[in-house]
Structure formats: C-alpha cells, structure tokens
Amino acid sequence: MIKRLFLLSFFAFPLLGFAQYEFTEEMRLNCLPVQDQGRTGTCWSFSTVSFLESELLRMGQPAVDLSEMYGVRLVYMDKAENYLLRQGKAQFSQGGLGHDLLRAVALGGIVPEATYPGKDKESGRHDHRQLEIDLRNLLDGYIESGSPPANWREEVQGLLDTYLGPAPDSFRLNGNTYSPELLARRMGLNPADYISFTSYTHHPFYEPFILEIPDNYSNGLFWNVPMEELEQIADAALKEGYTVVWDGDVSERGFSAAQGLAILPQDEERKDKFKNPGPEVAVTQQLRQETFERYATTDDHLMHLVGTAEDQLGNRYYLIKNSWGDRTDFGGYLYMSLPYFRLKTVAILLHKDAVPSSLAKKCGWE
C-alpha cells in the first residue's frame, strides 16, 4: 500500500490551522503518465486512450503512448456526416463518450502519439475552440445551401488537416511498418470487447438502452443496472486488474481537481471540506434519478479509474487519472469518494470480461 498525505498550506487557511488529509492507496493499476487535453472538450478521447494504454499493459504488451487526436479526428468526420444527414438537427461539438473512441478504432484503427500529436504548431498545445467554430460554420453553410457538395468530405478533411495535421496512412513503430488498422489488430484491441453501464430508473434494469445525454450523438447503448451493482462492477473489475472509463458530473462544489478531491459533503458550505473528511450525502437510487432528470447530474467529463484508497477514517475512494495536466496536488490524479461515485457517475465503460458472471446472467448473456 502507498500512503499519501494531502497537505493544505497553513498560510492559505490561516483561520483553520494546520490541515491534513491522509490517504492509503489499496491499489493502483498500471497506466501511462497524465496528459493535458488543453483547451479542448476531448476528455472522452484522453480518458479512453489512457484506458486502452492500460488494456495493452494488462494484456502483457509493451507500453505505447497512443494518439488522442487521431481518434478525435475520426470522430469529427463521423459527427460531420451525422450532422449533415440530419440536416443540422443533431449534436455537433467537441464532446463525446468513451464508446466514440472505440468507434474510431473500429472505423480507422489507432496510431502512436509520436505519429499524430495533433497539436497547435505555435503553442504546442491542444486548442479546438476555433476548429469547432470553423467546422460548424462549414457544415451549416452546406445545410443552408440546400444541397451539400459532392466533395464535402474532402473539404472537411482539409480543414482538419489545417488544424490537426494530415492523418497518416502508414508509420513506423519498433522497426515495423503499420497502417492504423493493422496496429489495432496486432495490439489485440477489439472494440466489440468493451461495454458500457449506467443506472437510471426510467428504463428497465438488466436491459440496454440509448442513454439520453447530449454527447451520445452515435446513439450508443448502455446496460442499465441498479446503483449498487454499478459500484460492484467497478470494484470487481479493479480487483481483477481491469481499469474503467468513468463518465460523470464534475460541476459539484465538492469537486476540486486542483486539490485532488471529489466529495459530496452533507454541508456544501463547510469551510474545511477540502481539509478534513466529514459526513457525506447518503445516496439512493431515487436521488440519482432526481438529479439526472433535473439536470443536476450531467455528462460533464470523462476520466480513467485506476485504483482504490482509504482516508484516515476508513472511508473508501476511487483513484482517478484526469487529463488536465499534472500541475495539481496529486500530480493529475484525484480521490473520488463512494458517495460522489454513486450520485455523480453517469456511466462506466470496461472490458466485458471484467463483468461479474452473476450480473452477466441477470442480463441474459449466459
């Protein structure tokens, strides 16, 4: 076990005195270093690429830093087609979900980061604010014209080339030449091996449904299970060495990436909530549903769940790898309390082999 001390500066909180949050990590599964998504809404790619990197390590393969922007580029093209065919009556934004990155792997494979960094040449960072505007303006212009031109794909690809760089047809890795599709196959990454779960009562449990959140433009299916079993799936996966993609709400006042905490205090006004553990909200299935239906729980952010920990009072947490850089108290990681996970998790994604057999039977898979 790894013991970590969460120390907040005395000078930052002169009226509260010396403070300490103490965590003991129960497990931390293998993953590559924290990345920075910059000024983009592409957390879905960063979290799921990190997840796939851990999948390769789990399968005994060497570490490979994979490109987030290659998948983003493929999904931009997929979204553009969906947006045009629906005549603008569809979601088109930087956002997405974990299954979108897997869809990108199925559509066009995967490449190393060194082959396709996709960063702004001047700043050396990721920034898609103007790219999104230009893409949307281009697509809206096609729609307003009443008839998209036959070469619209080439024009969209050209815009993506300008901002992200041309996509590679082939590349070298460890002395071998690959296409993106060949590398995905050689690595054993099969998008069909991964499955998403959620927990809401407006659909039957143990059945799949299309989750009604704005970024689910591709109408991905999510298996619906009770809240307790959603937590059990994550716990069982981690215990067996499988990491998990986490999708949820980070707009709560108890969420602080800078201070490395995601908590759900009963008293949100408690001044020492990031200083000392305290009572948290007792989450029920009904509360999950209510917050979802009144937009208090929204699909804000995706991260990579890689382990578990306890604080000094014995409260359990999930260890989460974020994609906002490593300039935080825990180097880009944060500790998410169980109450926060129970209420603010919109969905999780993981390898189907990590799903407990008892749940598989309830879903009719066995």
Q: What pLDDT does 138 receive?
A: 98
- Rounded Cα distance between 306 and 304, Å, is 6
* CATH topology assigned to domain 1-30+190-366: Cathepsin B; Chain A (3.90.70)
CA-only gyration radius of the chain, Å = 21
Query: Could you tell me if 212 and 293 are in contact, meaning their C-beta atoms sit under 8 angstroms apart?
Result: no
- Rounded Cα distance between 32 and 134, Å, is 33
Query: Could you tell me if 23 and 330 are in contact, meaning their C-beta atoms sit under 8 angstroms apart?
Result: no
Given pLDDT bands bounded at 50, 70 and 90, which one contains residue 366? confident
Query: Could you tell me if 277 and 332 are in contact, meaning their C-beta atoms sit under 8 angstroms apart?
Result: no
Given pLDDT bands bounded at 50, 70 and 90, which one contains residue 360? very high
Mean pLDDT across 199-207: 98
Q: What pLDDT does 329 receive?
A: 83
Percent of the chain surpassing pLDDT 90: 90
- Rounded Cα distance between 357 and 232, Å, is 12
40-189 and 1-30+190-366 share a CATH fold: yes
Q: Over the stretch 318-327, which tens digit does the pLDDT of each residue have?
A: 999 999 999 8
For residue 305, list its beta bridge partners: 244, 320
186: phi then psi, degrees, rounded to nearest 5: -65, -30
Q: What pLDDT does 19 receive?
A: 52
Mean pLDDT across 59-63: 95
Q: Over the stretch 68-117, which tens digit does the pLDDT of each residue have?
A: 999 999 999 999 999 999 999 999 999 999 999 999 999 999 999 999 99
| Domain regions of the chain by residue span | 1-30+190-366, 40-189
Average pLDDT, the chain: 93
Residue 262, phi-psi category: left (phi > 0), alpha (psi -120 to 50), beta (remainder): beta
pLDDT of 20 over the 90 cut: no
223: Cα separation from own chain's centroid: 17
Nearest to 25 by CA among 244, 311, 337, 277: 311
* CATH topology assigned to domain 40-189: Cathepsin B; Chain A (3.90.70)
- The type of residue at 218 is S
End-to-end alpha-carbon separation of the chain, Å? 36
72 CB-near residues (< 8 Å, 6+ apart): 40, 42, 45, 104, 118, 164
